[in-house]
Amino acid sequence: MKFNKVLKNLSTYEAGKPIELVVREYGIDPKEVVKLASNENPYGTSPKVVAKIESLAKNMYLYPDDSMFELKEALANKFDLESKNVIIGSGSDQILEFCIHAKCKKKSNVLMAKTTFAMYEIYSKQVGANVIKTESSQHNLKELSKLYKKHGADVIFLCIPNNPLGECLDKDEVYEFLKTIDKNTLVVVDGAYQEYASFKDEKKRICPKDLISKFPNAIYLGTFSKAYALGGMRVGYGLAQPEIISTFYKIRAPFNITTLSLAAAIEALKDEDFVKECIAKNFIEMKRYEEYASKKGFEYIPSYTNFITILFKDFVSKTVAQKLLERGMIVRDLTGYGLNAIRVTIGTNDQNTKLFKLLDEVLEGLK
């Protein structure tokens, strides 16, 4: 059977390995498996959200409110915007797809950092667009500016802070860069981890209202999968000027999130105290990783997220990740990104203590 030619050399996105796989392949008790690979909130979902979902489980046979009125109103109030500035997606990934399909076709140019969220490239290549990357792995706005002046772009992706590396641009330097971009270029500011970055450093905070007011060609993406601990519910959102949002609605399929996902996101927004507590714990635990890496002589990328990237010189990251996997500890190997590194989600105190212990064992065995 013949398929679209652009799909022939397109890589499949590799998601973090699930707990179930480790149980099946290595016979490890599920209770002993720790997953620190997909940047989920290790403290679980807000009890208030859980209670809400339990009360609504009997309504699973009903389609959700396709207008998503209550969630859009809640997000609009949170960011001091209007409902017409909001679109909801099945994870922020779906909004990324809207961005590409609305702006790109074969031979369109899409600009991004060398090492960033893989779906930017995958969605771009699905439509035959040219993906142009910086030489630097981390976001380098001078390089992005040079490439933009040379090639132009229909879409520019900025991951702030960046996944899978964890670094984060300052708001002011982002704004200076955006001043140089043509109004017909869509700039996607992916704020999936913005709650963490803005907690750690106010200079990193991107205010969606301010962003889209100053730059009408920009869209801000957010998600409930990380700080709000709803990764399994798949709810994301885009915030932009009405012209962009109304165009994206022409692409959006009806009922694109579930009844329970919709209810969970609405309830999660009501429990900001839970979110703040989780983020505070995250950075307390992150210090332990920084201290561990420094003690071992490992280079790490200072992170503004809920994960940390540790780079190796004397060990092969793929081997390290595999040996940890065999012991029931799931981390993300970054070999596929061209890095000899692992990305580790910042877990709970107990989970992190176990990671350090197992990593010590693995590294000692590889010497």
CA distances from 196 to 4, 80, 111, 215, 333 (A): 39, 20, 25, 23, 22
Let me know: does 166 contact 309? Beta carbons within 8 Å: yes
Q: What domains appear along the chain, each with residue ranges and CATH number?
A: 5-45+273-366 (3.90.1150.10), 47-271 (3.40.640.10)
116, HSE (Cβ side, Cα atoms, 13 Å): 30
- Indicate the burial class of 135 (C-beta count within 10 angstroms; 0-12, 13-18, 19 or more): exposed
Query: What mean pLDDT is predicted for residues 260-284?
Result: 97
Q: CA-CA distance, 210 to 218, in Å (whole number)?
A: 11
DSSP string over 158-206: EESS-TTT-----HHHHHHHHTTS-TTSEEEEE-TTHHHHHHH-GGG--
Q: What is the pLDDT of residues 287-331, one digit of tens each?
A: 999 999 999 999 999 999 999 999 999 999 999 999 999 999 999
Sign of CA dihedral 310, 160, 238, 70: positive
Sign of CA dihedral 160, 151, 337, 94: positive
pLDDT at residue 210, rounded to an integer = 98
Q: What is the pLDDT of residues 48-102, one digit of tens each?
A: 999 999 998 888 888 999 999 999 999 999 999 999 999 999 999 999 999 999 9
Stated as kind and residue range, the H or E segment containing 35 is strand 34-35
pLDDT at residue 9, rounded to an integer = 75
Query: What mean pLDDT is predicted for residues 128-141?
Result: 96
pLDDT at 340 over 90: yes
- Indicate the burial class of 235 (C-beta count within 10 angstroms; 0-12, 13-18, 19 or more): buried
- Indicate the burial class of 363 (C-beta count within 10 angstroms; 0-12, 13-18, 19 or more): middle
pLDDT at 342 over 70: yes
DSSP, collapsed to helix, strand or coil, labels residue 25 as helix
pLDDT at 16 over 70: no
Let me know: does 177 contact 144? Beta carbons within 8 Å: yes
Predicted TM-score (pTM) of the model is 0.94
Q: CA-CA distance, 62 to 313, in Å (whole number)?
A: 54
Q: What is the pLDDT of residues 148-191, one digit of tens each?
A: 999 999 999 999 999 999 999 999 999 999 999 999 999 999 99
